[in-house]
Amino acid sequence: MNDEKLNLEIRKLLKRFGVTAQPKVAHAILKAIEEGKLQGHERLQVRICFEVPELGMKHEIDGEIHLD
């Protein structure tokens, strides 16, 4: 196994996740504000889960998105 290639593959996957998730989250937030579900100054609780079923591995992080 090539450690450098492995690390690069993981970074590429995480980057792809970030690049694709950011506009989806932003769109969902804007839509919720338009529909009156959010005011636009909330702090949204977030959980991100990264799972590799073949390895039995699951990693979660919790955070917040501050809208103001």
How many residues does the structure list for the chain? Answer: 68
| pTM of the model as a whole | 0.83
What pLDDT was estimated at residue 8?
97
Contact 64, 46 (CB under 8 A): yes
Question: pLDDT, tens digit, for every residue of 6-65?
Answer: 999 999 999 999 999 999 999 999 999 999 999 999 999 999 999 999 999 999 999 999
Inter-CA distances, 26 with 3, 17, 19, 56, 60, Å: 35, 14, 12, 31, 21
